[in-house]
Structure 1
Amino acid sequence: MSKRIYLSSPHMSDEGYEMDYVKEAFETNWIAPLGENVNKFEQEFAEKVGVRAAAALSSGTAALHLALKAAGVGSGDIVFCQTLTFSATANPIIYQNATPVFIDSNYETWNMCPDALEEAFNKYPEVKAVIVVHLYGLSADIERIAQMCKERNVVLIEDAAESLGSLYNGQQTGTFGDFGIFSFNGNKIITTSGGGMLVSNNEEAIEKARFWATQSRDKAIHYQHSELGYNYRMSNVLAGIGRGQLKVLDERVEKKRYIYEFYKRELKELNGIKWMPEIKIDRPNYWLSAITLTGDTTPLDIIDTLEKENIESRPVWKPMHMQPYFKNYDYVGSTISEQLFGNGVCLPSETKMTDKDLYRITSIIKSL
């Protein structure tokens, strides 16, 4: 059988940047949760995306959890959450004993629909925070959504787990709201194997998040805790991997864009395929190349056929309001997110793929 092609697996730098920093951590014996790599990774990441402060954490989920906590979200509070996303976007709302209200997407961005958001604001004027997602590296209508939140004094949290390197009107996604969160899970555009980052221009809030993430340990010679804490800090070893990966981020973004353009060029003659939306002021990272199908071919036809050839692909995320755990929470919008789920396919987007791999994939799809 031909070699396995994955949807999106880790890709270390050819130059070995990661090993240089990891080796330094070992040689200095700083392999514990804190150290020079953690400090430098936070500084270098904040500079890269253009914010004042960043906190390196154990996961993007941890970052989102602390963002909600920093926003003052607590028991009984309403939080608007994009429905078309992975469950990690919604789960931290429950961690805080708050109540999610799910918001539909639009076709223009595949992300939170501002009109549906307006409807939700009218229905729940007491809402505490909004979580918007930049799905698959596609920017939401973030300037409009940010303005809507600002007018109502509602905290805006950007889930940019999939959009590191994506630009909206020249600005990095994850930096328009009060807080932005990023993920370095193994399938993301850069990885630390597991890890995340919380960013904000509110330096005091980031410092507080670091405090919570280190078990809320007070400044005392003995172990003293005046607040509930979490074990959420990133290790110095993983931060070293992140520093090395950050050096090749631009290269990875360009390869992801190349893959998307390759698919679009090679499959352009096929009927019944619609491509991810493209907005002139948006420059996506195309973390995953996704399509929707309008003809007789179904997503499962493509997924099953590729899998038989040892090639991984996936459906588009199943909306949260359709998930068994979240089905009883309110949902505002129409059926756009459901249609994107029902008709969508994420194609292999490995940055390690060669043109030969891409021709192999496209020829299989053309044969259907």
Structure 2
Amino acid sequence: MVNARVYLSAPDVSGVEERYLVNALRSGWVAPVGPDLTEFEREIARRCATAHAVGVSSGTAALHLALLALGVGPGQAVVVPTLTFAATANAVVYTGAEPVFVDSLPGDGNADPDLVARAVGDLHREGRTVGAVVPVDLFGSVADHAAYADAAPGVPLVEDAAEALGAHRDGRPAGSFGRAAALSFNGNKILTTSGGGMLVTDDGALAERCRHLATQAREPVEHYEHRDVGYNYRLSNLLAALGRGQLTRLDEMIDRRRRLREAYLKLFAAVPGTRLLGDGDPGANCWLTTLVVEPGQAGWAAADLGAWLAARDIETRPVWKPMHRQPVYAERRAWLTGVADRLFETGLNLPSGSGLRDDDRRRVFEAIEAFLATR
């Protein structure tokens, strides 16, 4: 029998989600409006400890809308971590503003607050308007948003919590920091609606502005009238139903990922030159477990392990390639220390899905143990 491929973070869907989805189909609410969408927004807002939530088509859409609602636009700069998925920077470009990049902290890979302060200070001295700072909760570890607020006083913070639903820091859940936050429900995220996202905020006026823009900016009159350019960004009621089913299982899914990370930690504890990124963060949702390998100490590189596992049909992935090294953003300004570059060279995301079956988990760990035995 041929083994099926082991994926990095495959969707974890059960009969619970099926029941929610079938009920939504039978209700007739199949458009981007309906009772499941309304309830999903309320449930996510409660989970994130925010007053408002707006269901949208992606985490990118949530970031875009938040920035627009804050007045970010042409001529402004927005500070973004260089170690992130491209959507964080792309959302800034959609507004006409300029993304500028800051490097990472070596411990968890999140943006370095000292560099945020330096970037904001330099830009202000040049007479530039800094429209926002967009920190990212990398791989499910909530960043130190209080430090960013101190580093950029008076500048709005928009939390990119796309990877961090269910995580927390200092007793506060991901999504509760800044003027607004963006969540992603993409297929590989800790909770999925197949595609989709959510904007969460305590600011009622900002939430209503985003909701308006997300529904093609249609005015509340019987005929179609538009005073603004809007976007087709609303989440469908069917996908919201899927998300509601997932949300009932979120704590269970996080617990599975956390136990998997603990097993990785035990496996690599005695391996010289290795560590787990963000190890020691009790509030992480463990969306992805990232192994960092120092080849000079370990005698092998992260890419060597990645190739070994790939040959056995086990998916891994390097950490995000820094934005300042992406061809589309290579000419943008960046405040760098070399940490993100080093994490890109030495980091490897290991299979982390909550739906990983026991036999596949054994297969992954046996493959890693066999690799280590050859070294």
TM over 0.5: yes
Cα pair 1:267 1:366 within 8 Å, conserved: no
Residue 325 (str. 1) matches residue 328 (str. 2): yes
2:97, 2:112 → 1: CA distance?
22
Which string of whole-angstrom CA distances, capped at 9 and with x for unpartnered residues, describes residues 1-42 of structure 1? 3221100011113xx232232222222211011000111100
Task: Give the structure 2 partner of residue 216 of structure 1.
Answer: 217
Residue 157 (str. 1) matches residue 158 (str. 2): yes
Cα pair 2:110 2:137 within 8 Å, conserved: yes
**SS in structure 2 of the partner of residue 65 of structure 1:** helix
Give the partner amino acid of 2:133.
V
**SS in structure 2 of the partner of residue 283 of structure 1:** coil
Task: Give the structure 1 partner of residue 137 of structure 2.
Answer: 134
Which string of whole-angstrom CA distances, capped at 9 and with x for unpartnered residues, describes residues 79-112 of structure 1? 0001100001110111111111101001133100
Which string of whole-angstrom CA distances, capped at 9 and with x for unpartnered residues, describes residues 300-342 of structure 1? 2111111111110000110000000000000012100100001
Give ranges in structure 2 of 5+ residues lacking alignment. none
Task: Give the structure 2 partner of residue 291 of structure 1.
Answer: 291
2:7, 2:250 → 1: CA distance?
19
Relative to structure 1, is the Cα distance of residues 72 and 279 closer, same or farther in structure 2, using a 3 angstrom cutoff?
farther
Residue 350 (str. 1) matches residue 359 (str. 2): no
2:4, 2:271 → 1: CA distance?
26
**SS in structure 2 of the partner of residue 93 of structure 1:** helix
Cα pair 1:110 1:138 within 8 Å, conserved: no
2:149, 2:17 → 1: CA distance?
36
1:218, 1:195 → 2: CA distance?
24
Give the partner amino acid of 2:64.
H
Task: Give the structure 2 partner of residue 68 of structure 1.
Answer: 67
1:57, 1:200 → 2: CA distance?
14
Give the partner amino acid of 1:248.
R
Aligned counterparts, 1:1-368, within 5 A: 1-13=2-14, 16-125=15-124, 126-149=129-152, 152-279=153-280, 282-295=282-295, 296-368=299-371
Q: TM-score scaled by structure 2?
A: 0.94
2:69, 2:369 → 1: CA distance?
49
Give the partner amino acid of 2:245.
G
Cα pair 2:44 2:53 within 8 Å, conserved: yes
Cα pair 2:318 2:344 within 8 Å, conserved: yes
1:273, 1:210 → 2: CA distance?
45
Cα pair 2:114 2:151 within 8 Å, conserved: no
- Which stretch shifts more, 136-145 or 37-46? 136-145
Give the partner amino acid of 2:227.
S
Identity, % of aligned positions: 41
2:9, 2:365 → 1: CA distance?
17
Relative to structure 1, is the Cα distance of residues 143 and 19 closer, same or farther in structure 2, using a 3 angstrom cutoff?
same
Give the partner amino acid of 1:45.
I
1:63, 1:217 → 2: CA distance?
18
Q: TM-score scaled by structure 1?
A: 0.96
What displacement does 1:203 show? 1.2
